[in-house]
Amino acid sequence: MDLVIRNGGLITGDGKTFHKQAAVYVRRGRIVDINTAESAAGAEITARETIDAAGGIVMPGIINAHAHGCIRGPSMPSGSKPIEGEDVAYFRNRHLLQGTTTLLNVCGLAMADEIDVDEAEPHSMDIRVSTAHTPKNIEAALVVDGKGLSIRHLRATIDDLLASGAVALGEAGGGQTLGGGAQEYRFIPQAFQQAFGVEVTPAAARRLKNAVLGRYLDPVDGLSNSKLTDELDHCGLSGGIEADRVRDIIMQSVMPSVALSLAGFDEIAREAERVGYPAIFHNAAPSAKRLIAAVEKHPKARLVAGHSNHPSFLPEEAVSIAQNLSGKGAIIDVSTLDCIGTRWRNDPSNLDALIDAGCVDTISTDFAGGHWDGILESIQRMVRKKQLSAAEAVALATGNVARVFNQMAGDRGLIEKGKRADLIVVDHVNLSRVRHVVIAGRIVVRNGRLI
């Protein structure tokens, strides 16, 4: 035997099973046996390596199917320049130490050979890419930024990417192209700095964006100039900054890509139905109607409503839209964003509403400007608040994800014979505290330290 993990509790990832004590046996990167008899779980086993999980819980490694910033190709749906290698290394290690063993980078416009290039060293975490290489998605990226895109990115197709290793489609749309978080923490502040030489916080950018365009990105919903001036005062931006100029700057930053990006939804949904791969969509107030229409038009496609707890929704609205999408066959994903412990821009009200309503199929992190909270932090919170049992909560990040993204993770996500041995050991009183991580049968984190 190559590895035995013994003496710990065991959550299998199926949403139901939680053994008080078990032993997991690993050979050649695969789970070869599980013994739930308490006497056997504590017995000495002859193996090359042993992990004593006493005081801990063994569960499948986290499968994060909506992340950004973990590859060196063009970044985000805006096709921006690659993220710096030092940042990529940090983001990867953060995910790994948070218990993630498989990660899907959904920026969407990178090539499959751009996972590990330049300063990005190969990583023990299994990192994959998605593809959003359709005409409208590329056009939307070029309108917003596109500085990371070369001729080969512009000419690439969905079929090219799937043939070279992409495992999903998307992300269709994004905060950059659909007036979401990235407009608030990056593009609108940049525009204000350039126009007025003033710093605008993400919170102020969101407030002003909503004042000009409303939650649905419709200028008709914008406030009058006098009320917009009041909003500028509230944000500490009074004096010499005219409401009309602010309105123009926000409109020019947000709106040019919106129609293109929404048209990209139709392209991705059509392609997803054709090729049989799952597709991730930016689900938010401005895009929900288009996503619902795509789900109705392509019932055979596996369409994932990404970050369905998006802050542009009101809680009851998030639930209503999720129930509508789910009833039509879509998969409902929620993201931790920064709403669990960080609370930089977002709070957990929408997440709580969706969990309490029983709407959620999977959970991911998204990016939140690099300030995302770990998936296990969210799972621990659900368990502590008694929203879900531990087995139910863990399945949202393991077995459920494996079923949806079977081309990427069909061989993992559950602790059962024959599955790939992607396993983590966490503290039994706080599931967010990761002690050991095993990927394909190899210990890559021991006692909280990268090996």
pLDDT at residue 8 in the model: 97
**Position 119 confidence tier, pLDDT thresholds 50, 70, 90:** low
Query: Can you tell me the mean pLDDT for 240-269?
Result: 97
pLDDT at residue 49 in the model: 96
The pLDDT of residue 41 is above 70:
no
- How many C-beta neighbours within 10 Å does residue 430 have? 12
Taking the C-alpha atoms of residue 341 and residue 412, their distance in angstroms, rounded to an integer, is 29
In terms of Cα–Cα distance, which of 253, 260, 287, 269 is closest to 140? 260
Q: Give pLDDT tens digits for 132-190.
A: 999 999 999 999 999 999 999 999 999 999 999 999 999 999 999 999 999 999 999 99
The pLDDT of residue 40 is above 60:
no
Domain 3-60+412-450 matches domain 62-178+258-373 at the CATH topology level: no
**Position 118 confidence tier, pLDDT thresholds 50, 70, 90:** low
Which runs of consecutive H residues, i.e. helices, occur in 5-75? 38-41
**Position 120 confidence tier, pLDDT thresholds 50, 70, 90:** low
pLDDT at residue 134 in the model: 99
pLDDT at residue 46 in the model: 82
Helix, strand or coil for residue 137? helix
**Position 39 confidence tier, pLDDT thresholds 50, 70, 90:** low
Pairing of strands 3-11, 49-52: parallel
Domain boundaries, the chain: 3-60+412-450, 62-178+258-373, 195-256
Q: Which CATH number fits domain 3-60+412-450: 1.10.600.10, 2.30.40.10, 3.10.105.10, 2.60.40.10?
A: 2.30.40.10
Q: Give pLDDT tens digits for 277-331.
A: 999 999 999 999 999 999 999 999 999 999 999 999 999 999 999 999 999 999 9
Backbone angles phi, psi at 30, to 5 degrees: -120, 155
DSSP states of 73-97 as a string?
SSBTTTTBPPPPHHHHHHHHHHHHH
The pLDDT of residue 42 is above 60:
no
Specify the pTM: 0.96
Look at the block and give the residue holding tokens 């300030």: 371
Here the tokens at position 328 are 């039509």
Q: Give pLDDT tens digits for 382-421.
A: 999 999 999 999 999 999 999 999 999 999 999 999 999 9
DSSP state of 175: T
CATH architecture of 62-178+258-373: Alpha-Beta Barrel (3.20)
What is the rounded average pLDDT for all residues in the chain? 96
**Position 239 confidence tier, pLDDT thresholds 50, 70, 90:** confident
Q: Give pLDDT tens digits for 55-110.
A: 999 999 999 999 999 999 999 999 999 999 999 999 999 999 999 999 999 999 99
Look at the block and give the residue holding tokens 């967010």: 432
Q: Give pLDDT tens digits for 334-384.
A: 999 999 999 999 999 999 999 999 999 999 999 999 999 999 999 999 999
